[in-house]
Chains A and B, each alone.
Chain A
Amino acid sequence: MRSVPTWLLTAALLTFFLGPFVWQVLTSLRPEAELTAPGLPRALTLEAYRSVLGGRPFLHVVLNSLVVATATTISCLAVGASAAFALAKLRFPGRSLLLGAALAVSMFPPIATVSPLYLALRAVGLRDTLGGLVVPYATFALPLTLWLLTSYFRQLPDELYRAARVDGCTPFQAFRRVLLPLVLPGLATTGILVFIFSWNEFLYALTFISSPGKRTIPVAISLFAGEHAEPFAEIAAASILATLPLVVLTVLFQRRIVSGLTAGAVKG
């Protein structure tokens, strides 16, 4: 390691990891006529962005993604927080069984559940609805939620819980009034990870949604087609727009995300 200068290694890694993204930004800013020209663009234009936001129902697609990801995050945290509290602080049989089962579920390949979920959603009339996406998303984000939140609740001293019980709280009241407010940062970290997972999910969204008006961002981008040739600049602009919220979120909450990711994995 010593023989390679740090700056050289850093520059190489930055080029590899950021380069393609920068190139995509440049593509999105190229004038149509210049797309096929080699090298750096000679002129920049926002034409592709105007076209993506104007002519096509892209804002609608962003809204769909926003609705699905927000609903998933909220339901996942609601279901996960109470269970994680019980797993961390209460004594009951089957605790490690539940955590083990959650871990097993997190390893399921999504393709394995596609056919029955498709038939089930169709049977209850949820196929081709955004709600039909929230149910599987929340389920498959639940294992990570349980593991992370359980570890956050475990970090709180048991005395807090016992003191609340001595003061006359039921376990549920101790959870709601005393412990839950203290894990808000952990709740935020978990929420960010669940949000990113749902924002990016592709297979279920591709399979369960058929109306173009209900597509989420990954599906819309994968099916982005022009009238004649593939509109590279518009695809680039759409993907930058779709990615921007994630990039901002990631840069802002970098520390949180890293700690959540590694805690979720290392404690597993």
Chain B
Amino acid sequence: MTGQDASRAERLQAAFLVAPAVLVLAAVALFPILAAVWLSLHRSILVFGEERFIGVENYAFLLRDTRFLTALGNTAYFTLVAVTVELLLAMPLALLMNRAFPGRGLLRASVLIPWAIPTVVAAKLWAWMYNPDFGLLNQLWPGRDVNWLGTPGLALHAAILVDVWKTTPFVALLLLAGLQGIPQDLYKAARVDGAGPWRVFWRITLPLLSPALLIALLFRTLDAFRVFDAIYVLTEGGPANTTETLSIYAYKTLMRSGNFGYGSTLSVVTFLCVVLLALGYLRLLGRSGVTR
């Protein structure tokens, strides 16, 4: 650039410009994570004003806590099933939105509505449809009075359906962006070579879409793993804790029981799970980036 002084002045101004963002991220995001780890090493009951250091005792208790193991299992199951179904549904939706046909604009605007509305509203809306007495779903299946949200085994799947409804559009839009990045020449060449639509899909679309697919998978997995809003509104973790996820269990321990020590332990463990998942995906992404 224009010399040593100018670039030093520029660095100084740069530091000045990024300082607020760095400070905010450090103070309100990074520091609380460290504070949560510190809290998790304490026995801390808010209403009793009790707080003392107990080391890793909370973590030792975690391994014996069957409710924690159930919550971990529920969260993993919710994440795995929801994300898989979302990808399988989003794929045809994205392929459809990528085609020129009358009504494409309507479709694109419509799918954004589930994405835009608050998760709480989405959950309330589905809770009304799941209502065992007057709900739409039981009206459509006359004679079968299913208690969607009150039956263990069924309730978690009902929550998964709400998540699928709410977030499939987002996944589809990510995939659509990926589809639009695939050069049209490749499709023309394939057609000239006489490849059928399925062959084109497996040999061209899917491989070239894999980075977008992986990114959608990463975002959705991390998001589904911290699921809170929908389940809190639908079931609060019931019936019999069969829909209780890690976030719900941690929330109840913190805010209902006022147990900030063990509640923070659950929060920290949720955080660590997310970190592990993210690292796994980033390795996958790195590998797919190398092969391209």
Contact = CB atoms under 8 A, between A and B. Distances in A.
Given A98-B22, A110-B228, A222-B124, A120 B17 contact: no
A236 B33 contact: no
A113 B250 CA distance: 11
A17 B7 CA distance: 53
Interface of A: 1-2, 6-7, 9-10, 13-14, 16-18, 20-21, 23-24, 27, 35-36, 38-39, 79-80, 82-83, 85-87, 90-93, 98, 101-102, 104-105, 107-120, 135-136, 138-140, 142-143, 146, 165, 170-172, 175, 196, 199-200, 202-203, 206-207, 217-219, 221-222, 232, 235-236, 239, 242-243, 246-247, 249-251, 254, 257-258, 261-262, 265-266, 268
Contacts of B9: 170-171
List the 7 closest pairs (A to B, CB-CB), nearest first: A116-B35, A109-B226, A262-B177, A83-B21, A139-B28, A112-B271, A200-B118
A85 B88 CA distance: 39
11 contacts: A13-B107, A18-B110, A79-B21, A92-B15, A111-B250, A112-B267, A203-B228, A219-B120, A243-B116, A257-B116, A265-B219
Nearest to B105: A254
B264 interface: yes
A266 B212 contact: yes
Contacts, number: 288
Grouping DSSP codes into helix (H, G, I), strand (E, B) and loop, the A interface class, with mixed when no group exceeds half, is helix
Interface stretch (B59-67, B93-101, B150-158, B185-193): B93-101
B139 A117 contact: no
Contacts of B169: 17
B251 A114 contact: yes
Contact of A261 (B20, B25, B32, B173): B173
B84 to A, nearest CB: 17
A108 B177 contact: no
Interface string B134-173: 1010010000000000000000000000000100111001
B22 A13 contact: no
Contact of A199 (B10, B36, B118, B197): B118
A221 B120 contact: yes
Nearest to B19: A83
A268 B222 CA distance: 14
A115 B254 CA distance: 7
Contacts of A257: 112, 116
B113 A111 contact: no
Contacts of A118: 254
A112 B13 contact: no
